[in-house]
Amino acid sequence: MNLNRTHDAAIKSWLASANQPHCDFPLQNLPYAIFRRKGDTEEFRAGIALGDQVIDLAALLRERCLSSFAMQAAVACAQSSLNEFFGMGPDAWRTLRHAIFALFEAPTGDVSMTPDTEVLRRCLVPQALVEYSLPARIGDYTDFYTSIDHARSIVKLLRPDSALSPNFQWMPVAYHGRVSSIGISGQQVRRPLGQRLAAGHSVPEVSASARLDYELELGIFIGVGNQQGEPIPVTDAEQHVFGLCLLNDWSARDIQMWKSTPLGPFLAKNFATTISPWIVTMEALAPFRHAWERPADEPQPLAYLDAPANRSEGGIDIQLEVWLESARQRASQAPTARLSHTSFRHQYWTVAQMVAHHTIGGCNLQSGDLLGSGTISGPTAAEAGALIELTAAGKTPVALGNGEPRSFLEDGDAVVMKGWCERPGFARIGFGENRGEVLPARALV
């Protein structure tokens, strides 16, 4: 994706909060969400983040701030979900983004180009006053497993006499997840019940999971789908991706260990998945692309997963953190504890390769479908994307800021995920945060 003036860090917005250092949502970002004012019965609708405000697209249309193709795109976008806008494709996404950029950039020397800021200010809603809904009607959800650092750590922890499954280095492995339990940031997650097989026992028991975990992931929203039976080439795959968000793939490890063989995690994963409200577009992420490399002594991707462009700029350097806030910390207003910090640049497979592999058999993706990247871990212990890895399966608990230990999540814990991109010469692009809180299990009936 080519760089253009929407990536120019020297261009500022007339909205002062968008120009603050370390702002997640500068003019160069402009991510999308579905929102409404808190405590209001108004309809959910699409908005774009700028500084500490939400640009209300429906209001922009009422004020006649857009014209031509940008107005058509905004009409599709200013609904209760982004599916129709997704389906319009990259030209519409780019046109609307550039039109919004032009409206909210600081005036130049040409006064004829100065926007009517009073009109535009009427189209802003403070983010502190809004609530969010899922950004799209998600038809299908597929969760990948694409961090080789995470995969190798799990094998060492759980099956030290085994080796990494050989297919991992030949294709992006995945399973189909549950759409109905996907929630937006702020989701309250009930600790799940399920079968567990205790060590030394031959008969399982049904009880609440004692090893509840998070998984740090990115969510990948499909923009334009494909026809059934027509695979998406890896060279075209990113034209089918609208953007990325933060994703927490909650996991009940004790249920997972007993249930996964032979058909997958099922009840260990289907009770909840939490995503952040803001979708950062692939165009906004263009300055943070990097070469994707596969060590020469490891299997090279098959032809349908390989392309020069994927080799030269298939990776994305997205910095990611996980924070944990216990109920005790929250009650005392004590600082939260950062558990890990890693980057998406370590991922073994790229976004384009995930999309290409998903469709190689003829699977038809649809606008609004969601893919999970799989747990994102780096090569060092401090870059672990899940507690099972960070605590060596519970053997070495981490200490929170107030001294509380954690092997796995406890009731009342809130998991907060953050993400951003930084590179000298470019504006910092943020993802906001993804927060979810653990509630006690319901009594077993």
Measuring CA to CA, which residue among 134, 150, 133, 358 is closest to residue 241?
358
Q: How many CB atoms lie within 10 A of CB 343?
A: 18
Active site residue 150: yes
Please state, as a whole number, how many other Cβ atoms lie within 10 Å of the Cβ of residue 121: 11
Annotated catalytic residue within 7, 98, 150, 176: 150
Question: CB under 8 Å to 203, separation ≥6 — which residues?
Answer: 197
Q: Are 308 and 176 in contact (CB under 8 A)?
A: no
Closest CA to 286 of 18, 74, 93: 93
Rg (alpha carbons) of the chain, rounded to whole number: 22
* Residue 98 near residue 152 (C-beta atoms within 8 A): no
Instruction: Decide: helix, strand or coil at residue 414.
Output: strand
Q: Residue type at 93?
A: W
Instruction: Compute the CA torsion angle 123, 125, 131, 137 (nearest 10 deg).
Output: 20
**Residue 245: φ, ψ to 5°:** -140, 180
SS3 188: strand
Residues present in the chain in total:
445
Residues labelled as active-site residues: 150
